[in-house]
Structures are given as C-alpha cells and as structure tokens.
Amino acid sequence: MTAPEATCSRCGRARSAERDSLATLSWVSTREDGRERWLCPSCARDHVRDIEAKLPDEYW
C-alpha cells in the first residue's frame, strides 16, 4: 500500500512537482476531523496567522 499523493488543499499544487528538496520539506501537514491535509509553502505563508490561531478553514 502506498500513501496518496500530497496535494495542497488550498491551491491543488502537487508536492511531487517540487524540484528543490528544501521546498518539499517546507510543506505543512495538518489533521482535522481525522483527515490529513497539506498546504504548500506559498499557501502556508499566506495563512500562517490563521493556522497559528487554529481557525477553521472556512474562515480563511
């Protein structure tokens, strides 16, 4: 069994599309209601305050 492809839950960008290994490491993983969600570095940077405040995604 393989893990599903990580894609950004905000913009849909695929983690496998990263060419730089440092950029691959900067993806953010969150877990809400038992689901794992991913954010690309750009979306995470845009919503860092929302993430730190633990606001639900619908408020972003």
What's residue 18's pLDDT? 79
Question: Residue 23 above 60 pLDDT?
Answer: yes
DSSP string, 30-59: EEETTEEEEE-HHHHHHTHHHHHTT--GGG
What's residue 1's pLDDT? 47
**Separation between Cα atoms, residue 59 and residue 5, nearest integer Å:** 26
Whole-structure pTM over 0.95, yes or no? no
- Between residues 1 and 16, which one has the greater pLDDT? 16
As a whole number, mean pLDDT of residues 23-32 equals 85
The predicted-structure confidence for 36-46, as pLDDT tens digits, reads as follows 889 999 998 88
What's residue 57's pLDDT? 65
